[in-house]
Amino acid sequence: MNGITNEQREALIVAACEARQRAYVPYSHYAVGAALLLADGRIITGVNVENSSYGLTICAERTAVFKMVSEGIQRFTAVAICTENAGSPCGACRQVMTEFAGDVPVYLVDGEGNGRETTLYTLLPDHFGPEHLV
């Protein structure tokens, strides 16, 4: 899918699962790690960070994307998301990732690296993006 090698896929999944260990989840206890693959092969990670004021919590996927943008990068080529049960990203994260990726591979895995492969546009089929603003 999109020219991602098996080695890149495995490195991305490992990075997401390792990042998951750093999540701050004292309330839900649902740790999430995300890892973005950049075009130059670098990987940017993020974790979910909860807050006692629940509305201020941020998901791992958005943490990784915002970290990427703050480092001057605006595109990624694949993402791995690691949860305890290979859960799918929320709608807000799907929308944010679409802004910076297009239809890229998404690897949804559990803490052991087992799961499934899909694409961002499969997760958000009727997405809204910059192309809709004229």
Helices (H) and strands (E) in the chain, counts: 4, 5
Active-site residue, 61 included: yes
Exposure b/e, 40-63, CB count within 10 A at least 16 = b: eeebbbbbbbbeeeeeeebbbbbb
Which residue among the candidates 7, 10, 61, 99 is catalytic per the annotation?
A: 61
Burial of 99 (0-12, 13-18, 19+ CB in 10 A): middle
> Residue 81: beta bridge partners?
34, 108
Q: Hey, what are 121's tokens?
A: 């546009």
**Measured CA angle at 126 (ends 81, 20), to 5 deg:** 10
Residue with tokens 């973005």: 36
Just list the catalytic residues: 61
